[in-house]
Amino acid sequence: MATITCREFLNYLEPWMEGERPPDAHAHAHVRTCSHCSSIINDLEMIHSEARSWSVSEQDAPERVWISLRAQLEQEGLIQETIPASEDRAQAAAPRTGWFAGLFPRLPRPVLAGAYLAALVAVAFALSGPVNKRVNEARWLKGTQISTSPLSAQLNFAEQNSNSYVTRSNPVVAASLHQNLAIVDNYIALCEKSVSEDPQNEVARDYLFEAYQQKADLLTQLTERGENVQ
Amino acid sequence: MARTRRIDTGELPEAEAIRLAQQGDAAAFERLYRLHNRRVYSLCLRMVGNTAEAEDLTQEAFLQLFRKIATFRGESAFSTWLHRLAVNVVLMKLRKKSGNESSLEELTEPDEDSGGPRRDFGAQDLRLSGSIDRVNLQRAVEQLPPGYKSVFVLHDVQGYEHNEIAEIMACSIGNSKSQLHKARMRLRELLHEALRAQAREDRKAASAETGGKD
């Protein structure tokens, strides 16, 4: 059988690796006798195999990507809230009985901010603790309330300061901020309700944390706007 | 509430979510994001090797998608369309980073002098066996030209077929196959170079140790 050179073998390599062409007899014979070319095939197969294993560890983008994206979409007017009117009315009529509800008047829309992040991260950490411990529901609920109470106090204090700023700011801006915060207020109230009904629901707890973060961001924005108009 | 809807729309079929998103429905946007963000984020992460940049690029890709979603007519699969946007966003970013406005062809067909694949006959036949791990390979992937990198990540990591990659990258199937082969060969070469560099370092360290004892 005529033999081929290593250089000629390279022409067989691509279709071989793609599994498109059964190994040619000449190429096969060459690989059996050439350690260099057989090592190329081994290496390429290992590279492919290692790369394929990466897909197993693929993860979702962090939640902040969606939060930021959503804020951008809202800002550009690309998305609309689609809460059914009946649900909206029910939410408006329902008394706010949660431990966090009622603390705030209506405040602005969420934006990225950092002033309260440290406190929020601490809360998130506290919220995740009971998740790992897998204790009973009452303990979960109690743990949630204990861990979020300091945040509630901080946000309450921040809100009092923010209110004094907002009264001095542009009334149109203030009205817009207040209107947008109403959305977050509803969001928080519903998150609290979900958590109180099912304290071990990690998704509900995740949303509650997210709601706090949005509230903190709003207050920060409010304060910044107030400072800018002074 | 958005989050309640997120749970409610968890089973919304993609086609229905696309239709609703085209009408500006917030929950449908979120559904589409939840369905596809993992692959897009992973693609961006593999391409840029940096989580912060990957997050920005993921957001940008989806932003572009949602800005254009009203024009989606279903000629290609939604995921293909989205990936095309994502790849373009990443390639644009990499072009800006490199500081020139190189064409896609340049990004995928580097010449021999600029680091393109070389046939390494005569090179020392170091065995890669055992040296191809996640870290080494990721380092090598980061050094690939952007076009090679795109095809390699799409095919070998994410499992796309060449016909899909051809759509995503706006190239021929043959071109996709050729780029993939060149990418793998270049990776092999980069891994060999890393091995040789490591061997040199080891020798240096050994001789320094010996010299120190003398």
Give the closest of A39, A48, A62 to B156, CB-based.
A48
d(Cα B67, Cα A76) in Å, to the nearest integer? 9
Which of A32-46, A164-178, B130-144 is the least confident region? A164-178
Q: Are A59 and B40 a contacting pair at CB < 8 A?
A: no
Q: In the structure encoding, which two tokens stand for residue B194, read together?
A: 């890393």
pLDDT confidence of residue A172: 57
Query: Of B66, B85, B101, which residue constitutes the final position of a domain?
Result: B101
**Three-class SS string for B84-109?**
HHHHHHHHHHHHHHHCCCCCHHHHHC
B155 vs A55: which has the higher pLDDT: B155
CB A141 within 8 A of CB A200: no
d(Cα A39, Cα A9) in Å, to the nearest integer? 13
Q: What is the mean pLDDT of residues A107-135?
A: 46
pLDDT confidence of residue A92: 40
pLDDT confidence of residue B19: 93
Which of A22-26, A37-41, B79-83, B170-174 is the least confident region? A22-26
Residue of A nearest to B192 (CA): A43
Which A residues in the span 184-213 are in contact with B, Cβ-Cβ below 8 Å?
186-187, 190-191, 194, 203, 207, 210-211
In chain A, what residues touch B59 (CB-CB under 8 Å)?
65, 68-69, 72
A184 vs A74: which has the higher pLDDT: A74
CA distance A230 to chain B (A): 33
pLDDT confidence of residue A115: 42
Query: Of B82, B101, B120, which residue constitutes the final position of a domain?
Result: B101
pLDDT confidence of residue A180: 65
CA distance A229 to chain B (A): 31
pLDDT cut 70: percent of chain A above it:
44
Which A residues in the span 61-120 are in contact with B, Cβ-Cβ below 8 Å?
61-62, 64-66, 68-70, 72-73, 76, 78-83, 91
pLDDT confidence of residue A3: 74
Closest CA to A11 of B178, B80, B24: B178
pLDDT confidence of residue B213: 55
Residue B138, Ramachandran bin (φ over 0: left; ψ between -120 and 50: alpha; else beta): alpha
**pTM of the predicted protein model:** 0.57
pLDDT cut 90: percent of chain B above it:
55
User: Given pLDDT bands bounded at 50, 70 and 90, which one contains residue B22?
Assistant: very high
Query: Of B86, B101, B116, which residue constitutes the final position of a domain?
Result: B101
Which of A35-44, A70-79, B189-198, B203-212 is the least confident region? B203-212
Burial tier of A204 (Cβ tally within 10 Å: 0-12, 13-18, 19+): buried
Residues B124 and B51 both lie in one domain: no
d(Cα A177, Cα A172) in Å, to the nearest integer? 9
CA distance A200 to chain B (A): 16
Q: Which residues contact A126 (CB under 8 A, 6 or more apart)?
A: A143, A146, A147, A148
Instruction: Give a yes or no: residue B214 inside a domain.
Output: no
Q: What is the mean pLDDT of residues B30-54?
A: 93
Q: How does the average pLDDT of chain A come out, rounded?
A: 67
Instruction: Give a yes or no: residue B140 inside a domain.
Output: yes
Q: What is the ipTM of this complex?
A: 0.75
User: Given pLDDT bands bounded at 50, 70 and 90, which one contains residue B119?
Assistant: very low
In chain A, where are the structural domains located? 6-57, 63-229
pLDDT confidence of residue B128: 63
Residues B189 and B141 both lie in one domain: yes
User: What b/e sequence results for A205-227 when a residue is b if at least 16 CB atoms lie within 10 Å of its CB, and e otherwise?
Assistant: bbbbbbbbbbbbbbbbbbbebbe
Q: What is the mean pLDDT of residues A16-32?
A: 77
Residues B63 and B127 both lie in one domain: no
Q: In the structure encoding, which two tokens stand for residue A52, read together?
A: 């394929």
A128-137 per-position pLDDT tens digit:
544 444 446 6
Domain of B31, in residue numbers: 1-101
pLDDT confidence of residue B205: 85
The answer on pLDDT for B99 being more than 70 is no
pLDDT confidence of residue A195: 74
Residues B140 and B183 both lie in one domain: yes
The answer on pLDDT for A221 being more than 60 is yes
Total tally of structural domains belonging to chain B: 2
pLDDT confidence of residue B36: 95
The answer on pLDDT for A229 being more than 60 is no
d(Cα B74, Cα A174) in Å, to the nearest integer? 43
Q: What is the CATH number of the domain that holds B179?
A: 1.10.10.10
Residues B86 and B150 both lie in one domain: no
User: Given pLDDT bands bounded at 50, 70 and 90, which one contains residue B194?
Assistant: confident
Taken in order A189, A190, A195, A201, is the CA torsion positive or negative? negative
d(Cα A103, Cα A157) in Å, to the nearest integer? 10
Residues B146 and B107 both lie in one domain: yes
Residues B71 and B130 both lie in one domain: no
pLDDT confidence of residue A213: 74
pLDDT confidence of residue A37: 87
The answer on pLDDT for B114 being more than 50 is no
B200 vs B5: which has the higher pLDDT: B200
The answer on pLDDT for A162 being more than 70 is no
The answer on pLDDT for B93 being more than 80 is yes
Q: In the structure encoding, which two tokens stand for residue B144, read together?
A: 């690939």
Q: What is the CATH number of the domain that holds B24?
A: 1.10.1740.10
